[in-house]
Amino acid sequence: MSQFNFVSDLQNALIMDGETRGPPPRWKKKLEASLNGSASTTRSVLSVSYNTSFSGVQAPAKTPGKSSEGKAKKSTTTPTKTPGGGDRFIPNRAATNFELAHFLVNKESDEENEKATSSNSNESNVQASAHKGERQKLISEVAQIGDSKGGRILCYQNKAPAAPETHTNPLKVVYSIKTPISTKSGSRYIPTTSERILDAPDFINDYYLNLMDWSADNIVAVALGSCVYLWNAQSGNIEQLAEFEEGDYAGSLSWIQEGQILAIGNSTGAVELWDCAKVKRLRVMDGHSARVGSLAWNSFLVSSGSRDGTIVHHDVRSREHKLSSLAGHTQEVCGLKWSTDFKYLASGGNDNLVNVWSAASSGVGTASDPLHKFSDHQAAVRALAWCPWQPSTLASGGGTADRCIKFWNVNNGTLMKSVDSKSQVCSLLFSRHYRELISAHGFANNQLTIWKYPTMVKQADLTGHTSRVLQMAMSPDGSTVISAGADETLRLWNCFAPDPLAAKKSVSNSKVKQSVFRQSIR
Amino acid sequence: MSTAQATKNCITLKGSAQIIVEYLKYGINSILFQRGIYPAEDFDNTQQYGLTILMSKDPKIQTFLQNVLSQTEEWLSKNMINKISMVITNAHTKEVLECWDFKMQAEMGDGDTSDPTKLTATKELSRIQNEIRDVMRQISATVSYLPLLDCICTFDVMIHTLQNTELPAKWDETGAIIIQNSQAVQLRSFSTGLHKVDTVVNYKMTS
């Protein structure tokens, strides 16, 4: 019975431990407030008393075997930094391994019992010796927590070298906010402000979803919260296409090439086909066990990538729509694009992989292995784009931990080029009129960057979004790019206007001023 | 015949130590790259566990890790290690900024346990490697929440052994390290059947 008491005591102690980890206790807040409020003289007095109590009480109790070097360091640090204070000694329960200690106490008695009761002494000896190493280790671990003399901490004498003095952490670009790096002005004029801003309330800020697409009929489909809206880019009319029930939402939108039918992948794992002229749902195709975050059309074939890691090809014409299921990812598929010649399908996933599937093998209905598996990205890959003038070139961009735009030759499966964009890459598009591509980024500048391809010289930074840019789509004439940001706006950028020289010659000045004026009104 | 089949998928203590040391090699190199401790130009791509892992090209770092890990393997195969800590310190002030703990727990395996030195496990290598891959992915994902190491840094590997371990040549005994105002995040674990390895990162909270 006493053992049970001990267990309940132990649990109480652990619960208390959980509480102390939360907000700081009142005495601590008070102490801090008094420290901040009082003059500097009283502050120094307080800190001295605190320092002595700390080294006098806690240090020997917790780490008596600590080297003098460590102690010296502790005394030099400012007391306001370390938790605790006043004249109270608060034992560090987090460092005391109650569970292990309890286990050892029980285990020892168990083993003794075992020895006593066992008729076969040989067997018990064997068992004891088998347990011995483990036990010894556990004991030493416990001892080491309370007293560092219980185990030895060893290190090699010839230390690793420090980084060269000139080195700066490359991650710094991710953390520090800077004004946009000056870009080399190219041969043409690119307006760096958005032409138009649309409000997009409730636009879901999720890196793994694809919530906007621009059709060949010049209609932009966008999912806001649980609804899907259509914005006619010509007339400016807005129409609500679909509304999902509470809790459900559209995870991906994709227009068929011809531009009448919209595929919506929803949060339940189904792919819905909508006729947008009639505002009517045509069919629902299941096939996934989790939400569909990416879609890509290839004439009558719609491919859907899901959180369950599979890609399913649906034949939208036939009753048995599920042609094949590709299992090449172990985590959510967030990027999916058919190549411009529809021979290859590229998929990017949260498992940092880019897979390239060949259409010839995937259309037949057998689950095959990917043609290429690129694992060079160090973060989830969502941004994928195929080069319109080099059908075998694939561009892919990685997330925050990676920040690279990589170019692949899918004919031989090689990495052609890799560029550090210094920010999360959310979307990539190739221009049809210029040998350029545009990339959408997140922190720190939330910009769109236009790059010359293949030199990858920066042409322009288009700034304006106040939060990361999640998705981009191109107008049917290829001149305008629409970007959707987590700041709940859609912005239109007239960055690939086809005939800049003529426009420059005729009404360059007045036109530029007009667009700036229009911008300032909003 | 039956014995031949039984030994097909066998991992001994020695093999288990090898797997873990390999993980440590890739893990430590990945941390060095991901945390930006050394310049990115000093790293090379390698394929391992189905991932691309960046390994340091610096001969000094390579020999350091080679020396440390070969000794680690010897100790691990005798189950003498509690914990291996990779400590990242500011090269100028010597302040400890981050500590990656690889905690080792001995497991009994599932083979014949009559002799503690001849323990075996039958866990498949591909399964172990999949588990390791998941940990490696988590390591590269830590970049998004760990504080920036905005100074010239260096690292060291400390091996927490049993009390009765003999000090080999060129090795020193050192004290425990303390990170002021630290926060710990436990990553996934993996197990070889004979060792369970927990990976924990302790870092200094920036106020």
Residue A501, pLDDT above cutoff 50 = yes
* Residues of each domain in chain A carrying CATH 2.130.10.10: 194-521
Confidence check: pLDDT of A466 > 50: yes
Nearest CB neighbour to A160, from listed B35, B60, B159:
B60
Q: What's the confidence (pLDDT) of residue A48?
A: 38
Question: Which pair of structure tokens corresponds to residue A469?
Answer: 């840019």
With CB atoms and an 8 Å threshold, state whether B163 touches A154: no
How far apart CA A91 and CA A88 sit, in angstroms, is 10
Rounded Cα–Cα distance for residues A265 and A310 (Å) = 14
What's the pTM? 0.59
**Which whole number is the average pLDDT over A287-295?**
93
Q: Give the residue, A151 or B66, on which the prediction is more confident.
A: B66
Mean pLDDT score, A39-55: 39
Predicted confidence (pLDDT) per residue in B40-99, tens digit: 888 998 888 888 899 999 899 999 999 999 999 998 888 888 899 999 998 888 888 899
- Using DSSP's 3-state secondary structure scheme, residue A509 falls into helix
User: A-chain residues within 8 Å CB-CB of B153?
Assistant: 162-163
ipTM rounded to 2 decimals: 0.75
Enumerate domains of chain B plus CATH numbers. 2-204 (3.30.900.10)
Please give the CATH superfamily to which domain A194-521 belongs.
Answer: YVTN repeat-like/Quinoprotein amine dehydrogenase (2.130.10.10)
Record: contact A65-B39, CB cut-off 8 A: no
Handedness of CA A505, A506, A510, A511 (dihedral sign): negative
User: What mean pLDDT comes out for the span B126-143?
Assistant: 89
pLDDT at position A512: 44
For residue A31, pLDDT over 80 is answered with no
Residues in chain B closer than 8 A to A148 (CB atoms): 175-176
Mean pLDDT of the A123-135 span: 51
- Contact between residue B56 and residue B37 where contact means Cβ atoms under 8 Å apart: no
Q: Specify whether the CB–CB gap between A435 and A414 falls below 8 A.
A: no
On the question of pLDDT at A58 being above 70, the answer is: no
Q: Which of B88, B178, B194, B200 to mutate to test the interface with A (most CBs of A within 10 A)?
A: B178
B166: tokens are: 């003999």
The yes-or-no verdict on residue A463 having pLDDT over 50 is yes
Q: Would the pLDDT of A474 be above 60? A: yes
Q: In the A/B pair of chains, how many CB contacts fall below 8 A?
A: 178
Of A96 and A364, the one with more pLDDT: A96
Q: Do A141 and B158 touch (CB under 8 A)?
A: no
pLDDT for the residue numbered A41:
40
Q: Which pLDDT band, with edges at 50, 70 and 90, does B120 fall under? A: confident
**Bridge partner list, B47:** B52
Q: Which among B68, B106, B144 has the least Cβ separation from residue A156?
A: B68
Q: What sign does the dihedral B30-B31-B32-B34 (CA atoms) show?
A: positive
Q: Which residues on chain B are in Cβ contact (under 8 Å) with A169?
A: 35-37, 148-150
C-alpha radius of gyration, chain B, whole number: 18
pLDDT at position A69:
44
Distance from CA of B6 to the nearest CA of A (A): 21
B116/A130 Cβ within 8 A: yes
Q: What is the pLDDT of residues A386-427, one digit of tens each?
A: 999 888 899 999 998 889 999 999 988 899 999 999 899 999
pLDDT at position A136 is 54
pLDDT of amino acid B109: 74
| Residue A75: band (very low, low, confident or very high) from pLDDT cuts 50, 70, 90 | very low
Residue B31 confidence class, pLDDT cut points 50, 70, 90: very high
